[in-house]
Amino acid sequence: MTDYVLSKTTLDRFFEVRVSAEDVQKPKPAPDGYRLALERLGVRATGAVGLEDSEAGVEAAVRAGIAVLGVRHAWNPDHDFTRAAGEFSSLQSTALIIATIESILVPAHV
């Protein structure tokens, strides 16, 4: 389903690695999907940021050691994103999201 949706929306060209529940034994909130993605990308958890729109997804990223940003929408108003490093009401605030990601990945200079 992931490949189908990404292909139909032409977003597939933006993803070097794709991991879905079909690729792991334990789905979210287990960290397995994130850990597999990190392994396939050759990236450490400290060099990654997750974007999630579910409580289980936030939990999975946190358990994998990845900073995560929660994204609210009409179907998740009651999800608990307190463990997320930040929260957004949409993905349309691109500049703010990128600035937040940069502040997570690049330590602030004193």
Counting as low any pLDDT under 50, the low residues of the chain are 110
pTM comes to 0.85
Give residue 92's pLDDT: 84
Contacting residues for 12 by C-beta, under 8 A, at least 6 apart? 3, 6
For helices 32-41 and 55-63, give the axis angle rounded to 10 degrees: 60
- Domains parsed from the chain with CATH numbers: 2-105 (3.40.50.1000)
Q: At 52, is the secondary structure helix, strand, or coil?
A: strand
Give residue 78's pLDDT: 95
**Spatial separation of the C-alpha atoms in residues 12 and 33, rounded to whole Å:** 18
Longest dimension (CA), the chain: 46
Give residue 108's pLDDT: 53
Give residue 107's pLDDT: 63
Give residue 2's pLDDT: 84
Give residue 56's pLDDT: 97
Give residue 88's pLDDT: 94
E strands, 8-106, in order: 49-52, 67-71, 86-88
Tokens 């940003």 label which residue?
Answer: 69
Residue 57: which region, alpha, beta or left (left: phi > 0; alpha: psi -120 to 50)?
alpha
